[in-house]
Amino acid sequence: MKSKTLTLAVLTIAMLFLAFSILHIKTVKAQSSDYVISRVNHTIQFLSNGHIFVNDTIQINGTVADGFLIGFPSKYGAHVVRCLAYNSTHNFKVNMNVPLEDRIGYYGVEVKFSHDTPQLFTVGFVLSNSLLTQDATNTTLFTLDFPAYPSLTKDASICNGTIALKNVGYVSGTISSFSYSLSPNGTLPAFTYEPATVTFQLSGTEIQLFEIKELRREIQITGIGDIEGSDTYLITSKSPATINSFEVVLPRNASKVTAQDQFGRKLSPPTVINTNISSYKVALLTALKSYESSRFTVKYALPAEIYKNQKGSDQFDFSFVLFQNLNSYVEQAFVSFALPEGAKISSQNASALWDYGVSRGVFQETVTIKKQGVISYDKFTVQIAYEYNLLWLSFRTTLWMWALTIVGCAIVFVSRRPETPSAVVVPKAAVGFGPEIIKSFVDSYEEKRKITAEIKTLEAGVRKGKIPRRRYKVQRRISETRLDTLENNLQSLRQKLRAMGGRYLDLMHQLEVAETEINEVEANIESIEARHRRGDLSLEAYRKLFADYERRREKAETTISGILIRLREEIR
């Protein structure tokens, strides 16, 4: 009996001690995060391709110990493509998709301050342009679904909301105007849950619903000091209206601006929209319909005296600001800086926010940079120091002189050999533009699809451990060699079919558009898989996007199959 009483007493004391410890920890935690939110400015901005930038500038008094929590209704969580936090001197780490304390129905993020708590900072969310709907019958009308206020874990003394739009007309919505606040005193209660909609009329093209799937910027520095650039865009329309032109932003002081489509056809000279940010309007040859994709390239020249500085006889510094005035959201950005032949990089800076590398060829070195999800906030100055001897300017000329000398000696040697009777050569009949070419193209293309399917099967097998990695590498190398041979043959046959004109030219155009769509979809699937693995994309959003991309891939594959069937019918 005494032992039972003693055991019960010990358990009671232990439980009381544990409860006291928990309460003490909670009290300490509450005391360590002793701050008040004095003001929040909640601003809704639009990027030119319809993505929404929700900008919350927060002023606090006190100290945040464990991380500042902010969010909004969970329905917007699937549309978050980017989140960032910063003030005038620091960028802060953000943990995405975290609970907003013990509340459900919210999408939360946690801002971690590595130093002292800033008294003024900004949290920005980039939301998908799927939240912005354009009326199909009256394309000047747009409806935005957005969080009217941020969801905070403490009351905010003052909260003002603003939708930053110019030259637009308010039509209707759950808010009364583009500038609004909570009444009567403007205080924002903790855990505010306030989805909102607003409809407005926009007569211009400041906002267009499209996605920039890929932007490839290539900067070439020539041996004589000229700087040449080209920007290639892969764009998909999401607008119910046809899109005839796009606004692009080039590096400052760009000149000699030209544009061409994915087939190399020249477009109308781009026209200047805003010289301060070096933005241009590029008009397409064919209007882009809803959910169609297009690729075009803008080429330009840059002044060497602004971007390049010579420090000695063979020492050069190159400085370039990436995406300084970018007014759109870019899903994937690739940038390369090709130095003159013979130049050697002596130093370069790198950013932890960008994937950064240097590729070295036989005579040329290239700096490559890539990043997913780019906005103007990602502005970054690339600085490259390199050594270059101007004697390399004569390198190509010297090679040609040596080559011509060797050829000339060979001609003299052959001309002095005794002549032998030449055999009579019977010319082969030239292959005409007819069924033979069509049949060869279709057979080669179907063989290409078969090899591509085999490579995908190999990849799936090695991932599941059904195929040894060594065997996988050998078989993949064999398949890729066959695929390269087929690609070269197909390119030649494509040119011949285009030369036949008429429906064959149109079919080749449709085929290339479908191929571009498939390549784009595969790149997007890799992107969302990477984002999902990092935790930047929720499972629900990942599944939704994956299903959408699969539908687009199936549609493109069906288009290609239809084109091959039509070509088969031509040779029957």
Can you count the helices (H) and strands (E) in the chain? 7, 28
pLDDT digits (tens, 9 = 90+) for 192-217: 999 999 999 998 888 999 999 999 99
Q: 295 and 267, same structural domain?
A: yes
183 and 235 inside one domain: no
Residue 124 counted as domain residue: yes
Q: What is the pTM for the complete model shown? A: 0.64
Question: Same domain for 51 and 182?
Answer: yes
Per residue in 87-136, pLDDT tens?
988 889 999 999 998 899 999 999 999 878 899 999 999 999 999 999 99
Cα separation, 343 vs 365, in Å, equals 7
| Residue 347 confidence class, pLDDT cut points 50, 70, 90 | confident
Within 13 Å and on the Cβ side, how many CA atoms surround 91?
Answer: 10
DSSP 258-285: EEEETTSPBPPPPEEEETTTTEEEEEEE
- What are all long-range contacts of 447-450, with beta carbons under 8 Å and residues at least 24 apart? 447/486, 448/483, 448/486, 448/487, 448/490, 449/560
Cα separation of the two ends of the chain: 101
**Which DSSP letter does residue 549 get?**
H
433, 435, 440, 446: CA torsion to nearest 10: 130
For the domain that residue 299 is a member of, what is the CATH number? 2.60.40.1730
Mean pLDDT score, 499-507: 79
Indicate the SS3 state at residue 329.
coil
pLDDT tens figures, 418-470:
554 444 443 343 344 567 888 888 888 888 888 888 888 778 777 777 777 77
- Residue holding tokens 């957005």? 146
What is the C-alpha to C-alpha distance for residues 351 and 355, in angstroms, rounded to an integer? 8
For residues 273 and 380, membership in a common domain is answered with yes
**Residues of the chain above pLDDT 90, percent:** 41
Domain count, the chain: 3
In a domain, 430, yes or no: no
Q: Is 320 left (phi over 0), alpha (psi -120 to 50) or beta?
A: beta
Q: Which domain holds residue 254?
A: 210-391
| 160 and 293 together in one domain | no
**Same domain, yes or no, for 313 and 345?**
yes
Asked if residue 242 is part of any domain, the answer here is yes
DSSP state of 74: G
Residue 14 lies in a domain: no
Residue-level pLDDT at 22: 44
Beta strands in 312-471 (DSSP E): 315-322, 330-338, 344-348, 355-360, 365-374, 380-387
Q: Which of 391, 418, 452 is the last residue of a domain?
A: 391
Is residue 358 domain-shared with residue 475, that is, in the same domain?
no
Q: Are 250 and 320 in contact (CB under 8 A)?
A: no
Q: Which of 86, 105, 102 is nearest to 94 (CA)?
A: 86
Assess whether 311 and 245 both reside in one domain.
yes
Residue 214 forms part of a structural domain = yes
Residues 144 and 252 in one domain: no
Does residue 378 share a domain with residue 343? yes
